[in-house]
Structure 1
Amino acid sequence: MSTEIKHYTVSIYTENNIGLLNRISAIFQRRHVNVESLNTSPSEIDGVSRFTIVVNITESQMKKIRGQIEKQVEVIKAYYHTEEEIIYQQSCIFKMRSNLLFDERQIQNIIKESNARIVTVNREFFVIEKSGRKEEIDLLHRELSVFGIMQFTRSGRIAVTKDEMKISTMLKALHY
């Protein structure tokens, strides 16, 4: 087992119960592991939620953490994957002053070149949305920062595996 620190994306299928997020984050906290990104959402299975968590740790640490996560009563199954095993994205939105859209021609070029899109415009501000890899979003943020960003927010990672996980088959057998 490698002692190399890697980015792991953890997918946790759970029942949707109050307090579970605190218990799962405590597992990482007790081991002094910083969570880089966290997203919770419904999964492909009715009534089952999915946590997607990104961490930078060794595989042996990851295996121990997965074991602790799976001991939680509400957790149905936990998986972890390397960057090469998944397809992933993040989303972000920027709020900018409206006059920039008309006064700074370069902003329109930045939006077009980054494959971002304008989702709303009014007299005071406009909002840009971008989905992509972290590096793409970081680049767009650097380019727009020069003009002054009023507000910015970024989602946690969302990911699917390249290989079939067969979680749906497993859950049907468990009557979910």
Structure 2
Amino acid sequence: MKRIVIATVLNQSGVLNKITGVLAKRKFNIESITVGHTENDGISRMTFVVNVDDDAQAEQLTKQLNKLIDVIKVQDVTDQAIVARELALVKVLSTAQTRSEIGGIVEPFRASIIDVSRDSVTIQVTGDSEKVEALIDLLKPYGIKEMVRTGLTAFLRGSQKQVTDLSSYSLLK
């Protein structure tokens, strides 16, 4: 089963390597990782989508990650109300005749054509994974020349946000 895990970490060299090392040692399959700065200098947020066998294994994962010194907080948010998005860039084969067709396909998805060349168009789509998958499926008949996806990034919805006291971290002072 897929689990969505968010880790708030100190933004230091080697943190990602330590975390992926823990996951690899315990043979967790990582489906995606996204990492980015947060509203606090020196703090990053990592979103992992991992495959686990059961709830006990998911709990073990969060406990192991919480033991790492550069990790501030780890949450399994799979069953909570979250805001989650993914970005995909898809280069599709096109001709002058098929460009307007492709434009008609991407419009309902609120996706956009961000590059046009003689033989292809590049489409940018953001949304939940199902939306991204649905658009990709519709574009396949045209011929996908190249594609890249960011993986899921997420955080808790509004009133669920738990504020972590970061004052004890010397990087922030």
TM over 0.5: yes
Range 7-16 or range 149-158, more displaced: 7-16
Is the contact made by 1:98 and 1:121 (CA closer than 8 Å) also made in structure 2?
no
Corresponding residue for 2:124?
129
Corresponding residue for 1:75?
71
Q: How far apart are the structure 1 equivalents of 2:128 and 2:73?
A: 26
With normalisation by structure 2, the TM-score equals 0.86
Q: How far apart are the structure 2 equivalents of 1:152 and 1:83?
A: 30
Q: How far apart are the structure 1 equivalents of 2:78 and 2:90?
A: 29
Q: How far apart are the structure 2 equivalents of 1:55 and 1:83?
A: 14
User: Shift in Å at residue 107 of structure 1?
Assistant: 1.4
Percent identical among aligned pairs is 28
User: Shift in Å at residue 166 of structure 1?
Assistant: 0.7
Q: How far apart are the structure 1 equivalents of 2:17 and 2:7?
A: 14
Quote the RMSD (CA, aligned, Å). 1.9
User: Shift in Å at residue 133 of structure 1?
Assistant: 1.2
Is the contact made by 2:103 and 2:113 (CA closer than 8 Å) also made in structure 1?
no
Corresponding residue for 2:18?
23
Give the alignment partner of residue 103 of structure 1, picking from 97, 107, 120.
Answer: 97
For structure 1, which runs of at least 5 residues remain unmatched after alignment? Answer: none
Is the contact made by 1:38 and 1:51 (CA closer than 8 Å) also made in structure 2?
yes
Corresponding residue for 2:162?
165
With normalisation by structure 1, the TM-score equals 0.85
Corresponding residue for 2:37?
42
Q: 1:103 corresponds to which letter in structure 2?
A: Q
User: Shift in Å at residue 28 of structure 1?
Assistant: 1.8
